Amino acid sequence: MLVGHRTWIFENKPVIISTGTVGGPFEAKGNIPDDFDILHDDMWLKQDSFEKSQQMMMEEACQVAVKKSNIEKEQVEFFLSGDLINQITPSNFSAKTMGIPYFGLFSACATSMESLALSSHIINAGSANYILSGTASHNAAAEKQFRYPTEYGGQKPPTSQWTVTGAGCALVAKSGEGPVVTSATIGKVMDMGITDPFNMGGAMAAAAVDTIEAHLRERNVDPSYYDLIITGDLAHVGREVSYDLLVERGWDIRLDQYVDCGLTIYREGQPVLAGASGSACSAVVTYGHFLNAMKRGELNRILVVATGCLHSPLSIQQKDPIPCIAHAVSIESGSDVS
């Protein structure tokens, strides 16, 4: 059911029956290592390119999610995925390995919730029983595409963020045990005129605010409806800007209620400057850390707002501003949904 212009209500309540999360060596030293299913001690994963390493992590996350469920891979009707690399090749090649009918998506770091929203919509409509939904990123692959290869050792400003090396996948089903997806609000592309690729948090802040406001208004709920409102990868700069904007516009949101995946994944002292980003950032933190907390009964309702910068290496070279988007998905514990 569509409410307002941008929000779907999933009356049939698609279920996240299992998840798979994979991380690299830097993530293993971070703040939430126990929330990963697989942690690698080598950035290369014994591959001959970082892009192939990213592909392998995506495949592992999908395989773990299927293994943790009570179904066979052949029962999965669709695979929805995307990433940051040109023509989303790691996702495309992962789909080849998985052998599941595939939708390739691109919303940059917002792809995690874009894929979950679309998977839930398809399930809710009765057009599938099981869908794998996820994304992956690799620090070194993203750096050499969008900035400078890590071997270059270029200096970065304090507004820059650290791309997560990892992959996160959810297996969404028509029925079963697990947290349920209750609604999704689809983002609009926003342009704040920021051209600096080292200030993505600042660029994405307005998109996050726009989607959060649309979600709350169209669902007719207060921020207090959710235990947490979780942004994807705004990190320190974007979280502060977006929180101030929301409060300025009259939304009663507690600071401790408004959290960010880019500030959750790494521990204090890791050299990540403003915080984390990357399409895997919101995927691994949501499908690992926050859903684990939900399963333990520590959270009942969360709104996950994944944010993404939709620029390309070419658009940056041409000094175009960075267009951004945010997609929001509400996830609730099965026991707390009427």
- Each residue of 140-155: pLDDT tens digit? 998 888 876 777 777 8
Give the pLDDT score at 143. 85
> What is the pLDDT at residue 336?
45
Tokens of 253: 């949101």
Instruction: Give the model's pLDDT for residue 317.
Output: 83
pLDDT score at 319: 87
What pLDDT is stored for residue 228 in this prediction? 98
Contact 233, 307 (CB under 8 A): yes
Closest C-alpha among 71, 72, 94 to residue 83: 94
Report how far apart, in Å, the C-alpha atoms of 262 and of each of 19, 164, 272 are. Answer: 20, 9, 10
| Residue numbers of the chain with a pLDDT score lower than 70 | 148, 335-338
List the domains of the chain with CATH numbers: 2-173 (3.40.47.40), 180-336 (3.40.47.40)
Q: How many CB atoms lie within 10 A of CB 321?
A: 15
- pTM, 2 dp: 0.95
